[in-house]
Amino acid sequence: MPKIGVEQSLTNVQEALKQKGYDVVQLQQENDAQGCDCCVITGQDENVMGIQNAQIKGSVINAHGMNADEVCQEVESRLQQ
């Protein structure tokens, strides 16, 4: 299953992704994003912990204004590309 990094404050998103069977990692430090297929951030700080500049193989999703279901849909669509 893909590994998804989720910013610490997005607990509802973390739970929703876990329920769908994803391997969810809390993003607390910049190196937490390594090895993630996708990262979800709040968007309050576009470059939170340097994740925008981090070398991850997947995309970074800005969850600002989205609910947990919308974020899950976005994760799934990005992973299918």
Residue ranges covered by each domain of the chain: 3-80
Q: What is the pLDDT of residue 33?
A: 87
Q: What one-letter code names the amino acid at 33? A: A
> What CATH class is the domain 3-80?
alpha beta
In this predicted structure, what is the pLDDT of residue 51? 52
Amino acid at 47: N
Per-residue pLDDT tens digits of the chain, which is 81 residues long: 899 999 999 999 999 999 999 999 999 887 888 889 999 998 775 554 555 555 566 788 999 999 999 999 999 999 987
- Distance from the Cα of residue 2 to its chain's centroid: 11
